[in-house]
Copies of this chain bind each other. A is one copy, B any other.
Amino acid sequence: MSSPSVVDPRPGAAPDQTWDPASIRGDFPMLERTIRGRPIAYLDNAATALKPRSVIDEVVRYYQDVTANVARGVHTASQEATERFETVRHQVGMFLGSRPADEVVFTSGTTGAINLVAQSYGRAVLRPGDEVLVTEMEHHSNLVPWQLVAEQTGARVRAIPITGSGEVDLGWLERNRSDRTKIVAVCHVSNVLGTVVPVARVAALAHEMGAVCVVDGAQGVPHLRVDVGALGCDFYAFSAHKLFGPTGLGVLWGRQPLFERMPPWQGGGGMIARVEIEKSSFAPPPARFEAGTPPIAEVFGLGAVLDYLAALDRRAFEHEDRVVRYAEELLRAIPGVILHGAAPGRVGLVTFSVEGVHPHDVGTALDAGGVAVRAGHHCAQPLMARLGVTATVRASFAPYNTRREAEALAEGVEQAKRVFGQ
């Protein structure tokens, strides 16, 4: 098992001191593969991130050495699995800013987590005429669940507009919030523009109206240190697979007093107190919200992710930032490339269009050079409409990405332009 290189910055070292991604690239087996005969330049991290060896090993460990269901058996393997499972719950609490473990619910993903809040909290509190505010740049996973519960309850979904640079229009929020505002659901980081939403401000504005603030942190946790206490939000959701972890697992963090009052969403094993044919009573949170056998191997893997991140040199993220800025510079220098999003402090990605070349064709041209990006609407059709496009190209980064990969990206774009004779 390889482990991340931990280099203590020397006292007084300059903050932009070089950190070499080569020190961790060996941890990620997927970086060894080739695409059409070339080394892969994986710039689709916002879709799903690559997994370090230690995470894969921990998933394997569950399947090889600790296979058992959790919270159900008196036998040793079940007990070991349960202990590990609950330890990771605790770790997740710490990761989100030292929160008690019973505020951590394991779900099937960010999408599952937001549907849970919508169907349990939302359905219980929303009345006809109430409003759920989202932003114009939400991922469908933080929009459609609210549309569904709005339809069920007679509430309405409205979008906080974004400014030309891709920032949330807080003035609009201040003017348009009212006592009908019950839920304000925003992303922490936009998966298209990289904008960091000022969650603390949004949450404060929501709370003044008695509304709760739900944060889609799918793109937050991979790039920012998250402290839900400091953010002041009420719910925070993320996916393990975008945080270098396994597929099939998400986290919903929620404030205990809210969880306590929320009805269950799904019914099944593990979430009950007492069951009779005609009625049942339910377990306290977090169990109340975890019906059925949970994603156990996946939780093991997430534990290894958190260990990996804890040991990772924080300069890795400064390096990531620099590579993103470098990619941006290179692309900006190419005539006909239009960059989307210009919010100060944006993180993790560059989204762009190439004049006269469809994003899919750019994507294919890049793929032919081994560069993996995402071309499409990024599950953010309302934002595409706002930007006046149907699709864009997005290159998204992680600490293991290199300046060389940013260059391969720019070369691929040049190549696409050449093919299309622009």
Q: Is the CB of A379 within 8 A of B270?
A: yes
Binds B, one of A195-203, A308-316, A364-372, A401-409: A364-372
Query: Interface range on chain A: under 10, 10 to 19, 20 to 34, or 35 or more?
Result: 35 or more
| Beta-carbon contacts under 8 Å, A46-72 to B | 47-48, 50-51, 55-56, 59-60, 62-65, 67-69, 72
Q: Is the CB of A266 within 8 A of B374?
A: no
Q: Is the CB of A277 within 8 A of B68?
A: no
| Beta-carbon contacts under 8 Å, A295-315 to B | 295-298
One of B72, B145, B268, B277 near A268 (C-beta < 8 A): B145
Tell me, yes or no, whether A261 is within 8 Å of chain B by CB.
no
Tell me, yes or no, whether A96 is within 8 Å of chain B by CB.
no
Q: Is the CB of A295 within 8 A of B295?
A: yes
| Given known contacts A136-B277, A367-B75, A291 and B141 CB-to-CB distance under 8 angstroms | yes
Binds B, one of A105-113, A171-179, A204-212, A219-227: A105-113
Type the 1/0 row for A361-397, where 1 means its CB is closer than 8 Å to any CB of B.
0011011000111111001011001000000000000
| Given known contacts A268-B145, A272-B144, A63 and B59 CB-to-CB distance under 8 angstroms | yes
Q: Is the CB of B280 within 8 A of A147?
A: yes
Tell me, yes or no, whether A76 is within 8 Å of chain B by CB.
yes
With a CB–CB cut-off of 8 A, which chain B residues contact A14? none
Chain B residue at minimal CB-CB distance from A282: B144
- In angstroms, Cα B31 to Cα A77, docked, is 12
- In angstroms, Cα B118 to Cα A389, docked, is 38
Tell me, yes or no, whether A292 is within 8 Å of chain B by CB.
yes
Binds B, one of A87-95, A243-251, A321-329, A345-353: A243-251
Report copies per complex.
Answer: 2
Chain B residue at minimal CB-CB distance from A114: B268
- In angstroms, Cα B241 to Cα A343, docked, is 45
| Given known contacts A277-B157, A292-B111, A293-B247, A74 and B269 CB-to-CB distance under 8 angstroms | no
> What's the nearest-Cβ distance from chain B to residue A319, in Å?
21
| Given known contacts A44-B69, A277-B159, A74 and B364 CB-to-CB distance under 8 angstroms | yes
Chain B residue at minimal CB-CB distance from A51: B63
Q: Is the CB of B298 within 8 A of A248?
A: yes
One of B64, B69, B246, B279 near A297 (C-beta < 8 A): B246
Type the 1/0 row for A77-90, where 1 means its CB is closer than 8 Å to any CB of B.
11000000000000
Type the 1/0 row for A118-149, where 1 means its CB is closer than 8 Å to any CB of B.
10000000000000001010011101111110
Chain B residue at minimal CB-CB distance from A147: B280
Tell me, yes or no, whether A264 is within 8 Å of chain B by CB.
yes
Q: Is the CB of A247 within 8 A of B294?
A: yes
Q: Is the CB of A76 within 8 A of B112?
A: no
Tell me, yes or no, whether A239 is within 8 Å of chain B by CB.
yes
Q: Is the CB of A76 within 8 A of B367?
A: yes
14 A-B contacts (beta carbon < 8 Å)? A29-B63, A35-B77, A42-B77, A47-B72, A74-B363, A75-B363, A112-B266, A115-B267, A146-B267, A157-B277, A158-B277, A269-B379, A276-B382, A276-B385
